[in-house]
Amino acid sequence: METTQISKQETFIGKEDLLNHWLGHRNLTRRVIEKFPEKELFEFSVEGMRPFSDMVKELLSIATPGLSGIVKRAEEPFSHDMNMTTKAELLAQWDKETPKIIDLYNQIPAEDFSKPFNLFGEYNFPIKDNILYFIDNEVHHRAQGYVYLRALGIEPPFFWER
Amino acid sequence: METTQISKQETFIGKEDLLNHWLGHRNLTRRVIEKFPEKELFEFSVEGMRPFSDMVKELLSIATPGLSGIVKRAEEPFSHDMNMTTKAELLAQWDKETPKIIDLYNQIPAEDFSKPFNLFGEYNFPIKDNILYFIDNEVHHRAQGYVYLRALGIEPPFFWER
């Protein structure tokens, strides 16, 4: 019923364009990681919040594992525990994930985007909403990184440059 | 050429679903505004940044005027100057914009989403990218509001609740 209804809708954005939109955001997030001094990336935070490195680890633990879960329909829980302690390691991992994200995303048939999936065994939403959540969550945490940079007296990259 | 290419793509998300996605974000942003104490909404900021009220005014000055520009193909510059000095005024304006956003968005023919438009006479991108920018920019500034709330010792709303 839901699926039928959605498939009747006119298109807002196509499959390929949405991937490119996400990859543009990932480029910007990478530049935000680069802007952090090594120590502050792992230690600085605003009260009650995590350092930006922990947010980046969260993003890494969601994107590829989430897409992999969608492709395999595997509802395994995610883990944010990642043993990375330097900016270079975070950036290397960030880059390593990019081709995996592209490959996994492209394996999702477009007709599946409106189908529900219980992501990580916990978030039961249409697959397109799961993917939009990956992107929104990245924009959300990256923006918190912007505030950290400002608080450290560092000019962040322009938001509209992807 | 570009348009032809895009129209061949399979759908990621439909027109109606994207609007609902945005409206969900607007609900959450409204709850973030509500969480701020009156004084801090207009005065608190992290060094070099604006108070959250100014970011909200920016969002208000982009959404309806941007959609209106798209619908009328009017490339007028935007103005962030808005004479609102209380939380109640900001919230009232936020609510007043909602039906306008719905009405204007629904006036955009789906085949136009891939067509370029020079938004505010300044940002020449496909219309869908302009609209995604409105949403991303809202998520971005709202997340900065989250950090302000944390810095003020206030628990922000859950990010995933729309």
Give me the tens of pLDDT residue by residue for chain B, a chain 162 residues long: 444 444 578 999 999 999 999 999 999 999 999 999 999 999 999 988 999 999 999 999 999 999 999 999 998 888 777 889 999 999 999 999 999 999 999 999 999 999 999 999 999 999 999 999 999 999 999 999 999 999 999 999 988 777
> Count H helices, E strands: chain A?
6, 3
Cβ neighbour number for residue A31 with a 10 Å cutoff:
15
A10 by DSSP, 3-state: which?
Answer: coil
Nearest to B139 among A140, A151, A160 (CB): A140
Q: Which of B95, B63, A79 is nearest to B55 (CA)?
A: B63
Alpha-carbon span B78 to B90, nearest angstrom: 18
Q: Which of B30, B77, B51 is nearest to B151 (CA)?
A: B51
| Interchain CB contact of A26 with B (< 8 Å) | no
ipTM of predicted complex: 0.93
Give the C-alpha distances (Å, rounded to integers) separating A115 from A22, A124, B17, B138.
Answer: 20, 10, 13, 27
- Judged by CB atoms closer than 8 Å, whether chains meet at B128 and A13 is answered as yes
Amino acid at A52: F
- Judged by CB atoms closer than 8 Å, whether chains meet at B9 and A12 is answered as no
Domains of chain A, each with CATH number or no CATH: 21-150 (1.20.120.450)
B141 known member of a binding site: yes
Alpha-carbon span B96 to B88, nearest angstrom: 12
Q: Sign of the C-alpha dihedral, residues A56, A147, A139, B36?
A: positive
Q: What is the pLDDT of residues A124-153, one digit of tens each?
A: 999 999 999 999 999 999 999 999 999 999
| Interchain CB contact of B17 with A (< 8 Å) | yes
Q: Quote the minimal CA–CA distance from B45 to chain A in Å.
A: 10
Q: Which residues contact B116 (CB under 8 A, 6 or more apart)?
A: B2, B124, B125, B126, B127
Chain B residue whose CA is closest to A145: B144
CA angle, residues B19, B127, B93, in degrees to nearest 5: 50
pTM of the model: 0.93
Q: Quote the minimal CA–CA distance from A111 to chain B in Å.
A: 8
Give the C-alpha distances (Å, rounded to integers) separating A36 from A52, A90, B49, B146.
Answer: 9, 12, 18, 20
Would residue B120 be called left, alpha or beta, if left means φ above 0 and alpha means ψ between -120 and 50 degrees? left
Size of interface A-B (CB pairs under 8 A): 129
Alpha-carbon span A50 to B1, nearest angstrom: 46
| Interchain CB contact of A45 with B (< 8 Å) | no
